[in-house]
Amino acid sequence: MSPQFRCPCCGYKTLTAPASMGLCPVCWWEDDGQEDADARQVRRTANGNLSLVEAREHFAECGAAHPSFLSHVRKPEIYER
């Protein structure tokens, strides 16, 4: 199954289903269903102490949802844009 859903953090199409705890390979955000409406909330689930807003800021700055994830992430593929 090819990814068709956009990661709420980095915006690339890396997820095969929305809000299904998929781990985005481009930014390392785990999609627990958090979206724009509650982006500032820290859910303390899969993403630890990261809110979606913070993760997006980190991605804009360093290319991962958190600097400690940098060794895990990869560049987006063309078909994921």
Complex with Zn ion: residue 5 or 42, whichever CB lies closer? 5
Alpha-carbon distance of 2 to 47, in angstroms, equals: 24
**Which range touches Zn ion (CB under 5 A), out of 8-16, 37-45, 46-54, 71-79?**
8-16
How many C-beta atoms lie closer than 10 Å to residue 65's C-beta? 28
**What residues between 16 and 55 interact with Zn ion by CB under 5 A?**
24, 26-27, 29
Choice between 42 and 63, CB closer to Zn ion: 63
3-state SS, residue 4: coil
Which C-beta is closer to Zn ion: that of 7 or that of 50? 7
Total interface residues for Zn ion by CB under 5 A: 7
Choices 9-17, 35-43, 50-58, 71-79 (CB under 5 A): range interacting with Zn ion:
9-17
Structure letter (DSSP) for residue 30 = E
Measured at the CA of 53, the angle between CA 78 and CA 61, to 5 degrees, comes to 55
